[in-house]
């Protein structure tokens, strides 16, 4: 089992938990402050962060997701290397918002469950 210790670099803001997520940690080291969102399925970032991390959108797959504000079509990149709060390097899927939105990046359930190996079989928890 993996243990992740939060460094409390950013305090709760309005009772919202934040976590440091490092994209492409072996090469680029782009670190984002992500809102921890257990209602989100995937790690969600914007296009400029994806570009800074060196992610190619060429192999991305459009995915329509439901949000609190309605539906949105995001670009899904599979098998991305990330670290959350200094964890071991994990491989997760990332949704990229190409709409130039200013929404904060989200750390969703897939990333959290990969980081905190609690023994659940989560392979069928995500909607795709």
Reported as a single tens digit per residue, the pLDDT across 41-52 is: 999 999 999 999
Indicate whether 86 belongs to any domain.
yes
Question: Tell me: the pLDDT tens digits for 53-88?
Answer: 999 999 899 999 988 788 999 999 999 999 998 888
The label of the residue with tokens 């959290």 reads: 112
In a domain, 9, yes or no: no
Give me the mean pLDDT over the 102-125 stretch: 79
Whether residue 74 is contained in a domain is answered as yes
For residue range 89-104, list pLDDT tens digits in order: 999 999 999 998 888 9
Alpha carbons within 13 A on the beta-carbon side of 40: 22
* Domain-embedded: residue 125: no
Considering the domain boundaries, does residue 57 fall inside one? Answer: yes
Backbone torsions φ then ψ of 99, nearest 5 degrees:
-90, 10
Higher-confidence residue of 83 and 116: namely: 83
Which range marks the domain in which residue 68 is found? 18-115
Q: Residue 82's closest CA among 48, 45, 119?
A: 45
* pLDDT score at 20: 93
* 21-35: pLDDT as tens digits: 999 988 888 999 999
Q: Find the CATH number of the domain harbouring 31.
A: 2.40.70.10
How confident is the model at residue 4, as a pLDDT?
A: 61
Q: Does any domain span residue 13?
A: no
**Residue 44 lies inside a defined structural domain of this protein:** yes
* Angle at CA of residue 27, ends 23 and 29, nearest 5°: 40
| Domain count across the chain | 1
Residue with the bigger pLDDT between 2 and 66: it is 66
CB 73, CB 60: distance < 8 Å: no
- On whether the CB atoms of residues 15 and 35 are closer than 8 A, the answer is no
Q: Does some domain include residue 51?
A: yes
pTM: 0.80
Count of Cβ atoms closer than 10 Å to residue 111 Cβ? 29
CB 4 within 8 A of CB 116: yes
């Amino acid at each position: 089992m993996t243990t992740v210790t939060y460094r409390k670099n950013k305090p709760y803001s309005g009772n919202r938990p934040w976590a440091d997520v490092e994209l492409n940690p072996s090469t680029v080291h782009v670190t984002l402050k992500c809102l921890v969102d257990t209602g989100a399925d995937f790690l969600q970032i914007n296009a400029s962060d994806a570009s800074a991390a060196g992610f190619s959108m060429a192999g991305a797959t459009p995915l329509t997701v439901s949000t609190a504000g309605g539906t949105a079509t995001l670009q899904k990149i599979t098998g991305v290397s990330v670290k959350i709060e200094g964890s071991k390097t994990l491989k997760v899927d990332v949704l990229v918002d190409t709409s130039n939105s200013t929404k904060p990046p989200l750390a969703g359930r897939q990333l959290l469950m990969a980081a905190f190996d609690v023994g659940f079989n989560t392979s069928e928890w995500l909607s795709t």
